[in-house]
Amino acid sequence: MSPDEYLDAAAGRLRVDGADVSTLQMRGLTALVGYRSDFRWRWMATRLNLFTVLINVPSVTASELELFANEALDYAVSQKGKFRVFAT
């Protein structure tokens, strides 16, 4: 399976799981982003916002992986409140 085929398959799995799938530019590359929000009364009426971010690179080092993880986290934090949906 090629990296592009993997990203396509991952996008499909994210959609099946109920995520909205989009892309964004990250470090000059196109990243695949899946977003899903779950609300549960048993979680004390808490909403869980789940972001999945994937990017295709030929190889990676530990420092590059840490940088990517921090950038993905910064993106998720920057989206706080933009996807606010109230439970019915």
Say what the pLDDT of residue 81 is. 65
Tokens representing 67?
Answer: 């940088």
Rounded to whole angstroms, how far apart are CA atoms 75 and 27? 12
**Which has the closest alpha carbon to 30: 56, 62, 68?**
56
Mean pLDDT value across residues 35-43:
80
Band of pLDDT at residue 84, cut at 50, 70 and 90: low
**pLDDT of 48 strictly over 50:** yes
Enumerate the H helices of 17-61 as residue ranges.
none
Q: Indicate the pTM of the whole model.
A: 0.78
Q: What angle do CA 75, 39, 51 make, to 5 degrees?
A: 20
Amino acid residing at 34: G
Residue for token pair 């799938």 = 21
